[in-house]
Structure 1
Amino acid sequence: MIQGCTSDAGKSTVVAALCRLYARAGIPVVPFKPQNMALNSAVTVDGGEIGRAQALQAIAAGIPAHTDMNPVLLKPSSDTGAQVIIHGKVRADMNARDYHRYKTEAMGAVLASYARLRSQYQMVLVEGAGSPAEINLRARDIANMGFAEAVDCPVVLVADIDRGGVFAHLSGTLDCLSESERARIVGFVINRFRGDISLLEPGLDWLEARTGKPVLAVLPYLHGLHLDAEDAIQSSQSGGAFRIIVPAVPRISNHTDFDALRAHPDVTLEFIGPGRPIPPADLVILPGSKNTRADLAWLRAQGWEPALQKHLRYGGKLIGICGGFQMLGSVVHDPDGSEGPAGSTQGLGLLALETVMQADKRLAQVSGRCVFPGAPESAAVQGYEIHLGDSTGAALKRPVFTIEGRPEGAVSEDDAVLGTYLHGAFDHPDACQALLAWAGLRSNRSVDLSALREQSLDRVADAAQGLYDALQALQVGRSTSE
């Protein structure tokens, strides 16, 4: 099990790297995260949803993503509440206290998934969540040491040296653990190091002498990786003349939709957070949202509605994805309070459609063709749908795609506004090039995000070879049959 001193210490990337290395060695390997809290999710082959990081790790392992890889997924809908997803399906909306009580039942789902994976794979690489040193979360823990103790799993502890204080993070985390938990840790990984390793060695010697545990690896800071983020919004990329801006709404979901655009050499993509002036752009994209009505209210409070109207008057283009698509219509109804308080909210009125939130979530991996104005007849698209709402209206008569024979999405009569429920559309080179051409980019260059992802997985795996070798030398996780 890979645990971290902090969130974003690099646990997900370390697990992905090890998945690729075990797969290279011909060892059947599977990633597993007992509990994940993230708004970036992926649709699995068995028709559920899991955290995006586990889907990336599955790619590294060379296997299809399955709901057993992340049996408990929490998707925050407010500062105190979240949608609880068990084995890929929505179980309930809970506040923090209710979920804390529910953890005992959730642990049953975790152990059931783990048992199935252990019966199918020789190696299970487990990712922790946050930090095992969160004292207030120790009771009924299913995400870190609570799980490791339950299944008798050895633990590697990762710390991010780029944040500073790496030795305090590692030694302090140990001090917060019980004796049995400390004994479970087989060694440390120091992540994101840049500089002269000889200058770090006195600290490594001190840490090993103080704790009695080895530093298994010092992993380098790797620039230019193209790997799906678990949750944190990736920093903006600059360089191209074509400017795209995305409002960073409070409950933004699946912002991995924009990874291909961030990598495009002719594009500058920027997320605009609260309180910032809204700059001019060629294209504005309204992202997915876990709480469409609340994020629409946020947009209005930040001044986006008049800014979008001005943007369109001056010839700019506008795309809405999933929740952003719903915002473009005339009204969003949530009669049962699926995402928040029950009620209706007036939309931006830029597409002739309205949306009704429903209890059942649509989850599907899909493929089809681009049919929006100007799209080449041969332009293909692939992606996934993951949404609650159902949209109806005249705008749907001018679809964006045909998905498995059915029309999907909508384009406005003046060809300035486009909306779709399809996540991941920009990941496909054909669709990405066609959508950017529709928005006004004149370029023959395209981005193959899948190829960039594979190259990045190989890079992190190569960098982690020393860690893999150290684990093999310790015989961590090795069965007697090997």
Structure 2
Amino acid sequence: MLQGTGSDVGKSVLVAGLCRLARNRGLRVFPFKPQNMSNNAAVSDDGGEIGRAQWLQALACGVPSSVHMNPVLLKPQSETGSQIIVQGKVWGQAKGKDYQQYKAGLLNAVMESWDIVRADADIVIVEGAGSPAEINLRSGDIANMGFAVKANVPVVLVGDIDRGGVIASIVGTHAILSPEDRDMISGYLINKFRGDISLFDDGLKSITQFTGWPSFGVVPWLKDASRLPAEDSVVLERLVKGDGRALKIAVPVLDRIANFDDFDPLIAEPQVEVVMIKSGERIPADAGLVIIPGSKSTIGDLQRFRENGWDHDLDQHRRRGGHIIGICGGFQMLGKTVSDPQGIEGNIREIRGLGYLDIDTVMEPEKTVRNVQARSLQFDIPLKGYEIHLGRTTGPDCIRPAVNIDGIADGAISADGKVFGTYMHGLFNADAFRAALLKSMGISAGVLDYHAGVDAALDSIAAQLESVLDIEALFALKRV
């Protein structure tokens, strides 16, 4: 089990890389994360919601993804509360303080899924969440040491040297853990090192001297990690922008942005510049396309959209002849109204939409979660993706649907064809569709094989980990 000295130390990428490494060695390997918190969800092959990182890790393993690989998924809906997904299905909602009372009860579901995942595996590589150093959350913990102790899984502590203070973070974690938890840690590794690794030899000696833990190695900065779907919205803060490519695509970063990996294939396009617009920033006037992403809280994010003045920016963009696409929650925002008669998202029962499509959305309690085969009606191109949403959308513009999903029309297109929305996630993953979309905006791009790029990145990361980590010692930790 990889646990981190903090969040965003690179655990998800390391687990994916180790999964691919184990697969390349001929081992039957599976990923597992007891508890995840992310609005970047995927639909597993057995039809439930899991964290996008576990979906990617299953891909690295070459096995079908399952709800049991991430039995508890928390999807933040507000600053204090989240929707709780258990073994792929909505279990309930809770504020952070209340959730602490539920964790011990959810451990049974976690252990049930753990037994299912490990039953047919040569090795399971587990990812922790946050840090075991958060000892204020230790009681009832199911994400880190609570699970490791219960399942008797050896732990490797991951420190992030890029953020600084890595020696103190590892030694400090050792200092504050209880003896029982400390004994679960078999060693540590350093991640995200830039430069000459030999310069940190004395650092490794110091950590081992203070803790008694051996080092499994130092991982350099993995450039290929940028080619993988990101799990945590923290990465949106670090995206480089302003490089003046042929087409600028602006994506407003909603407070509860969901499934933002929809844009990874566009980011990978050499002639496309994807600019993530944060709160307080303007949608650039030279953007040729604005995409409103998915949201875990459509009404709340629509309010914030207006508070940021993005509605005025979008009006000007539309007057200049710019294109607009809405995905899932973003599609709902493009309509005339969003109604929530049962108060599913909160106290606001109806809100005025942005008005670019003649449609109305009504929130309903039953959630649509499914993988889909579809076809773009705009370009007559096959698509493959998934749906995760609440709400039913109807209206005159639905007579011009954007896609056909499993034989059923979905989405809407404006009369001039420059605004469209759909509930389908993953449509930009289709290379031919992406090329046709860019061509419609005057960009002549070759067909980039996005999926092959992800697969190649996994192989590259696996090879790098093989060369810098003591893999034999790591894999020897596994317990039958």
1:395 aligned to which of 391, 394, 397: 397
Aligned to 1:464: 465
SS in 2 for 1:56: helix
Q: Check the 8 A contact 1:18/1:468 in 2, yes or no.
A: no
1:76-103 per-residue CA deviation (whole Å, 9 max, x = no partner) reads 0000000000010111111112211111
Count how many residue pairs are aligned between Structure 1 and Structure 2: 474
Q: Does 1:450 align with 2:456?
A: no
Q: Which amino acid aligns with 1:326?
A: Q
* Structure 2 CA distance for aligned equivalents of residues 227 and 324 of structure 1: 23
Q: Check the 8 A contact 1:369/1:380 in 2, yes or no.
A: yes
1:319 aligned to which of 318, 325, 335: 325
* Structure 2 CA distance for aligned equivalents of residues 318 and 117 of structure 1: 42
Aligned to 2:254: 249
* Structure 2 CA distance for aligned equivalents of residues 478 and 135 of structure 1: 26
Q: Does 1:274 align with 2:279?
A: yes
* Structure 2: gaps spanning 5 or more residues: none
* Structure 2 CA distance for aligned equivalents of residues 368 and 473 of structure 1: 42
1:239 is displaced (CA, Å) by 5.1
* Structure 1 CA distance for aligned equivalents of residues 311 and 13 of structure 2: 38
Q: Check the 8 A contact 1:21/1:468 in 2, yes or no.
A: no
1:200 is displaced (CA, Å) by 0.9
1:39-82 per-residue CA deviation (whole Å, 9 max, x = no partner) reads 10000111101000000100000011100000000000000000
Q: 1:338 to 1:236 in 2, by over 3 A?
A: farther
Q: Which amino acid aligns with 1:205?
A: K
* Structure 2 CA distance for aligned equivalents of residues 222 and 11 of structure 1: 12
Q: Does 1:263 align with 2:265?
A: no
* Structure 1: gaps spanning 5 or more residues: none
1:412 aligned to which of 395, 402, 414: 414
Q: 1:315 to 1:421 in 2, by over 3 A?
A: same
> Superposed, which structure 2 residues align to 1:311-460 within 5 Å?
311-372=317-378, 375=379, 377=380, 379-438=381-440, 440-460=441-461
1:463 is displaced (CA, Å) by 1.2
Aligned to 2:4: 4
* Structure 2 CA distance for aligned equivalents of residues 473 and 115 of structure 1: 21
Q: Check the 8 A contact 1:365/1:384 in 2, yes or no.
A: yes
More divergent stretch after superposition (35-44 vs 356-365) = 356-365
Q: Does 1:121 align with 2:121?
A: yes
* Structure 2 CA distance for aligned equivalents of residues 49 and 448 of structure 1: 26
Q: Check the 8 A contact 1:322/1:387 in 2, yes or no.
A: yes
Aligned to 2:307: 301
SS in 2 for 1:418: strand
Q: Which amino acid aligns with 1:279?
A: P
More divergent stretch after superposition (460-469 vs 18-27) = 460-469
Q: Check the 8 A contact 2:74/2:83 in 1, yes or no.
A: yes
Q: Which amino acid aligns with 1:8?
A: D
SS in 1 for 2:108: helix
1:212 is displaced (CA, Å) by 1.2
Q: Check the 8 A contact 1:362/1:388 in 2, yes or no.
A: yes
1:177-230 per-residue CA deviation (whole Å, 9 max, x = no partner) reads 111211111111100111112211111111112211111010010224311111
- Give the TM-score normalised by structure 1: 0.96
Q: 1:243 to 1:333 in 2, by over 3 A?
A: same
SS in 2 for 1:464: helix
* Structure 2 CA distance for aligned equivalents of residues 55 and 30 of structure 1: 11
* Structure 2 CA distance for aligned equivalents of residues 452 and 341 of structure 1: 44
1:414 is displaced (CA, Å) by 1.8
1:380-437 per-residue CA deviation (whole Å, 9 max, x = no partner) reads 2111111011101111110111222221211001212110111111011011112223
Aligned to 1:240: 245
Aligned to 2:77: 77
* Structure 2 CA distance for aligned equivalents of residues 122 and 152 of structure 1: 16
SS in 1 for 2:227: coil
Q: Check the 8 A contact 1:353/1:394 in 2, yes or no.
A: yes
Q: Check the 8 A contact 1:148/1:155 in 2, yes or no.
A: yes
* Structure 2 CA distance for aligned equivalents of residues 40 and 446 of structure 1: 26
Aligned to 2:103: 103
> Superposed, which structure 2 residues align to 1:185-224 within 5 Å?
185-224=185-224
1:348-372 per-residue CA deviation (whole Å, 9 max, x = no partner) reads 1111111111111111111222112
Q: Which amino acid aligns with 1:293?
A: I
Q: Does 1:165 align with 2:171?
A: no
Q: 1:434 to 1:340 in 2, by over 3 A?
A: farther
* Structure 1 CA distance for aligned equivalents of residues 474 and 127 of structure 2: 21
SS in 2 for 1:8: coil
1:471 is displaced (CA, Å) by 4.3
Aligned to 2:88: 88
Q: Check the 8 A contact 1:291/1:340 in 2, yes or no.
A: no
- Give the TM-score normalised by structure 2: 0.96
Q: 1:388 to 1:452 in 2, by over 3 A?
A: same
Q: Check the 8 A contact 1:236/1:262 in 2, yes or no.
A: no
* Structure 1 CA distance for aligned equivalents of residues 257 and 250 of structure 2: 14
SS in 2 for 1:457: helix
* Structure 2 CA distance for aligned equivalents of residues 473 and 30 of structure 1: 16
2:295 aligned to which of 289, 296, 299: 289
1:123 is displaced (CA, Å) by 1.2
1:467 is displaced (CA, Å) by 6.3
* Structure 2 CA distance for aligned equivalents of residues 210 and 468 of structure 1: 21
> Superposed, which structure 2 residues align to 1:56-71 within 5 Å?
56-71=56-71
Q: 1:215 to 1:340 in 2, by over 3 A?
A: same
Q: Check the 8 A contact 1:284/1:319 in 2, yes or no.
A: yes
Q: Which amino acid aligns with 1:444?
A: A
Q: Which amino acid aligns with 1:75?
A: K
**Two-structure CA RMSD over aligned residues (Å):** 1.4
1:448 is displaced (CA, Å) by 2.2
Q: Check the 8 A contact 2:18/2:465 in 1, yes or no.
A: yes
1:478 is displaced (CA, Å) by 5.5
